[in-house]
Structure 1
Amino acid sequence: MEEVDKILIHSLRQTGTDIGEDVESVKQFSSELIVEAVVRCLRVIDPALGNGLSPSLPPGMSARFRLGMSLAQACQDLGYKGEIGYQTFLYSNEPEIRSLLMFLVEKLPRESAETSDQPAGKSVLLQKAIAAQIKAQLALPWLPPSCRLPLHYKTQTPGPSYSFHAQPLSVPYSLKGSSKKQPKEVREYYRDYLLPVTAQPSQPISVPASLLENHASELSAAQEWENEWNSQGLLTRLTPEEYRSRKRARLQKRIEEQLRSTAQPRPDSHSATRSTSDLAEFLNSFGGTSAGGNVLTKGTRFTHTEKFTFTQEPEKAAQQMAAAANSLPSSHQSEEDLKAQQQEEISGLQQQLQQLSVQIEEVGGEMRQLTVSISQVSDELKQREVRNTEKEDSVRVKKQTIDLLPDAENNLVKLQSLVESSAKRVVHLASQWEKHRGPLIDEHRRLKELCSNKEMESSRMLSEIKDLHDKIRQSADEAKKKEGLYKQLITEYETLPKDVSRSAYTMRILEIVGNIKKQKEEITKILSDTKELQKEINGLTGKLDRTFAVTDELVFKDAKKDESVRKSYKYLAALHENCTQLIQTIEDTGTIMREIRDLEEQIETEYGKKTVSNLEKILEDYKAIRQENSALAAKIREG
């Protein structure tokens, strides 16, 4: 049973049950530990069935009884056929608990059991520890702040919370970058001037969020590139660098076309002149030109008018300011006169500004009308040019016809001979073409078939390449897993005691196997001896019955004639009866001895069930229930 208990304890620890290192057998399990082990197993086997059960015993007795009944019902739903009830968990005994735990361990999913038996890396162990800590914190009941003890403040008091604010980071080595060697200047910048990642965000609180955002964007970009390359890149039969450069060139071409289409003036648009001026300013800002030089050198009437107006206005303003300065008296004026004069000047300037804005709007309207009229005139001009070309062609044909009219008969004969020669030439060319057409068609079919074969071969090779990519990815994943497993095994091997050798475990296993073989041999020997004894007993019994029958018959014949023989017959019958009673007594004695052994075994099992201690627990629980009932009754009377 020791080996069975060790296997059970190991499996229960893998399910998340908190079993101490000093617990070595099921006999040492307490009621709390039994409940926790059963609930953990139920959650692994059927989460919907076990998530509603608490892994810890509640303080109240009624709640304990309800929890025990719920656990018993859940085990019966899983298919447990043994006798089970609330007493199995509250007043447990070793055989019942062992059989129940063996049933639950056998019901555990094999995949989880296999993965739990395999050692994992440090990251997996850390994740398991985090998950166990979170489960333990979630299992604790929530309490309001006024009822919390100092022990609960560590787990139920919320810590400082901050908003998730990510900022862009500059990382020297990134998945987004190309695999080409970086220039020397970039590497010097990274080495000498780039700040650490923790110092780049404006606030230290944003560092984790920025790192998570950067890492997620890199992973998504790598995943998108891999999907695009597997779905579209491989079909182009280009290298990844060529595919990237081709994609970049197409993107630049699209941007240039979009800019050109935006830069072109649209007569039907209301803001054509404004877009032209905005584009000019945009190009000036990029080209680094001065304010006087314009990239769009071809001016319009509106631009010339605007230039003339805004170049003349500063001169007028300067003249007015000079006149106002000359009109000031030499004596000191009061501040009110100055303010009134400034107000008059401001009102005059505002009126001029309004007049200028009205003039600008009028000029803009005229410009729009002119652009519309220009577009209409240009369309009419194009149509007239097309009509003129058609008329010129018709005039040229009519002129040639008129030139041929004076000598019409000769010209008709010449034209007919020319048509006949053209027809003969066409027939001759058709015959020659038929001669060349057959081999060309055969060559075309051959080349087409060869091209289709090459396409099929390339598609087959492409599918093989994709399969190889998948196999490489799977092999890389398996290699990573095996490498983590190897590291974990190395760490476990280093932590194992060096004084215990493998041969000791091997010898122990061989000894256990040898003992089992000896026990089997002894059992088979005892069974064979029992069978032999039973056969011998049956043979002797039959021989005794036959001997008694023959002796009885012979003696009975002589007893009719001789008195002494009659007495011997009576003694023979008495001896046979006494021997029968003796055999019956021996059989009864054996039956009684077997019953005694069965009773002794039952007594030992009853002692193993802890009947006395369970009765004491039942009495204590009964007293606790009576106290709870009295307390509830008192509350009801008070209410």
Structure 2
Amino acid sequence: MRRIFMFLFEKLPKESEKVADQQLEWLRSQDEEPRQASGSQLELQKQSSEEETEAKVKQMQSQLESISEVISQLEGQEKEVSAALQQISGDIEKKKAQRLELESQNELEHKALALLPNADENILKLQAKNRRCCSETGQLIDANETQQKLEEIKAIKDKMREISEQARTKEEMHKQLDAKKDEAVRRAYKYLASVHENSNQLLQAVEETGSITREMRDLEDQIEQESQKKVTANLERITADYKQMKQENASLLAQLKGQ
């Protein structure tokens, strides 16, 4: 259409140049309208893409904040478990010290009673007291240590399993964020994996602590049995020595009376 108009424009007389100029201007405006419409459409598409990108970035930031909160919670739980393990170790050492002190007191009482004149009666008392002390010590260990430690270890194991499950869940969620696109997300993923590994190591340490506790109870039982055997043997020896002394004293008295 534009070419036809130009052809007619060349053929028109000079006096119609003004009209031709107006028509040419109108044609140019008609050509520019589609271009302006196309530019507006591209601008809208660009704006929509930017808004979509911004929304996606905000979503990833929100997910990263959630992961950071979970990591903080895991750190707090890890500190609580470490404190509980330290308390368990301290209680075990305290019970061992109490047992050693009790054994030392029993040994001193045994030596003191062996020197008294009424050795037979005192030996029987010492035997009864030793049996009673051993029984009370065993009950104290079973009641205040064994059950309590087993319950604490079980609670710690349950908490560690819960922490491990949470770590695995957050790890799966974190993988979906495509850690390669965001350096901060990659650091959070590495830290979460490290917490998961430390949780497994801590769970293993708790299990080993349970094994050590059982071994300590077995050793304490063996010590109690050996102590009982030694006390019985010493009492029998003291009784025999005492009877021999009585016989020797009786013989000396008889010799003195004969003189």
**TM-score clears 0.5:** no
The structure whose residues are more often helix, as a share, is 2
- Name the structure, 1 or 2, with higher relative contact order (CA <8 Å, separation 6+): 2
Give the TM-score of the pair, scaled to structure 2: 0.31
Q: Which has the larger radius of gyration?
A: 1
Give the TM-score of the pair, scaled to structure 1: 0.15
